[in-house]
Amino acid sequence: MEMNFTTVAPQTVSFHNGSYNETPLDFMETRIARFINLYYPPFLVLFGTVCNILVVIVMTSRYFSSVSTAIYMLAGALGDVLCFLIALPAHWVYVNFPHAVERTDDAHYMCKFFNFFGWGSSDFGIILTAAMAADRAIAILFPFKANRLCTPRRAKSVVIGLLVGVSIKESHFLFVSDIVPEFRNDRLCTVTEPNEIYRWFWRDIWPWVHTVFLLISFIIIIMSNIVIIFYYRKSKRLPVNREIRGVCENSRTRQISTMLLVESFAIILLTFPFCMHTAFTSHRQYNLESPREKAENLLLFSVVFYLLYTNKCATFCLYCITGSRFRYALCDIFCHGRFTRRTDKIQRGKCLSHSHFSMNHMAVHLHNPP
């Protein structure tokens, strides 16, 4: 396949001894973006698919299957797998080999799906993290109601509700999406403006609708994380005799919360730039920009776009770093249970010795009051 990086009609630049036609290819930003577009996506597809499949397997294991937060993590990993297998390969093929995509009268159906799926998967991942953080915060704030409010069954209902809500929000892409003109190869699909009403909606209303959605989601994530962090700091000051009940269960809950914290911070750092960029630049008139502006926007879009997919890969690495139970489950997968049987004995011994120590501590405290 021939690689084609033509964009638009060149712009004439004058010098003392003549003039030449300036194009986006004359700028370093374009060359950097081309390098990123060609070599980084294949790595993301391979690494991201494998990592998220492992997350799916772990979250359905006995370590996490009974925890409501695991349902959200499972849904997020499944969505990420679909992104790596469907959306990213199509983007990579077009931006590097644009002639490989055949332009037919029905090509707009392909872009209707890709725009709907791309925007929807991004928004779903964000709102899913917000729901997951809120679930953990509710379990901390209302511990006596957690068994009723934060259950896997309720989490499944929330996931379905969020999926329906995001689908409604992105449904307009099913009517106004089309393949980009031949002179563009920075992305595969764009949004058309069939009439003045939609033009007004797309340029003046949609950016604010999307921004409010993002702000609400990120506020929920931040506030929930504050609750979780406050709980951690407070729990460290508890006396030993108040930790008798549910020692092992608390260990699992804390690890889930830690995994959630790092995932929340990662999604804010790596996803927010792309969301804001698409909200406020997707309606810009590409053919009216100068060659330098095109080069700068191409590099900016490439960076924030691949940061979004890097976040989908980073989740697995963060889980491995912060969750010992997640690592145990991985070892269980690759060692066929031999590692798990050994660690189960160690864990039971730790829990039993901790409980005996706590009971003795309480007995001493009762017989020798301060």
Residue boundaries of the structural domains of the chain: 37-355
Q: What does pLDDT average to over the chain?
A: 81
Token output for 321: 């770093």
Q: Check pLDDT > 50 for residue 126.
A: yes
Residue 135 is predicted with a pLDDT of 92
φ and ψ of 244, to 5 deg:
-65, -45
178 residue type, one letter: D
Q: Give the 3-state secondary structure of residue 260.
A: helix
Categorize the per-residue pLDDT at 278 as very low, low, confident or very high, splitting at 50, 70 and 90. Answer: confident
Of 31-35, 36-40, 77-81, 251-255, least confident by mean pLDDT is 251-255
Q: Give the 3-state secondary structure of residue 347.
A: helix
CATH 1.20.1070.10 assigned to domain 37-355? The reply is yes
Q: Which of 203, 205, 202 is nearest to 173 (CA)?
A: 202
Which of the pair, 136 or 12, is modelled with greater confidence?
136
Q: Check pLDDT > 80 for residue 40.
A: yes
Percent of the chain scoring above 90 in pLDDT: 42
Of 60-64, 103-107, 201-205, least confident by mean pLDDT is 60-64
Residue 134 is predicted with a pLDDT of 94
DSSP 14: E
Cα→Cα distances 160→36, 53, 156, 205, Å: 35, 21, 6, 27
Q: Check pLDDT > 60 for residue 196.
A: yes
Residue 24 is predicted with a pLDDT of 73
**Across 265-281, average pLDDT:** 84
Residue 23 is predicted with a pLDDT of 76
Q: Check pLDDT > 60 for residue 154.
A: yes
Q: Which of 2, 6, 4 is nearest to 294 (CA)?
A: 6
Q: Give the Cα separation of 300 and 177 in Å (integer).
A: 22
DSSP 87: I
**Across 78-93, average pLDDT:** 95
Strand partners, 19: 14
Residue 268 is predicted with a pLDDT of 86
**Across 169-173, average pLDDT:** 96
CB atoms within 10 A of CB 101: 16
Residue 276 is predicted with a pLDDT of 80
Complete DSSP assignment for 198-241: HHHIIIIIHHHHHHHHHHHHHHHHHHHHHHHHHHHHHHTTS-GG
Residue 366 is predicted with a pLDDT of 36
Residue 129 is predicted with a pLDDT of 93
- Tell me the per-residue pLDDT of 338-370, one tens digit each, with 9 for 90 and over: 555 555 554 544 443 444 434 344 333 434 444
Q: Name the most confidently modeled range: 42-51, 132-141, 178-187, 195-204.
A: 42-51
- Tell me the per-residue pLDDT of 317-337, one tens digit each, with 9 for 90 and over: 988 888 888 888 888 888 866
Percent of the chain scoring above 70 in pLDDT: 77
Token output for 327: 């690592």
**Across 306-313, average pLDDT:** 93
Residue 109 is predicted with a pLDDT of 94
Residue 333 is predicted with a pLDDT of 81
Which of the pair, 290 or 90, is modelled with greater confidence?
90
Which of the pair, 146 or 134, is modelled with greater confidence?
134
Q: Check pLDDT > 60 for residue 104.
A: yes
Residue 350 is predicted with a pLDDT of 46
Categorize the per-residue pLDDT at 77 as very low, low, confident or very high, splitting at 50, 70 and 90. Answer: very high
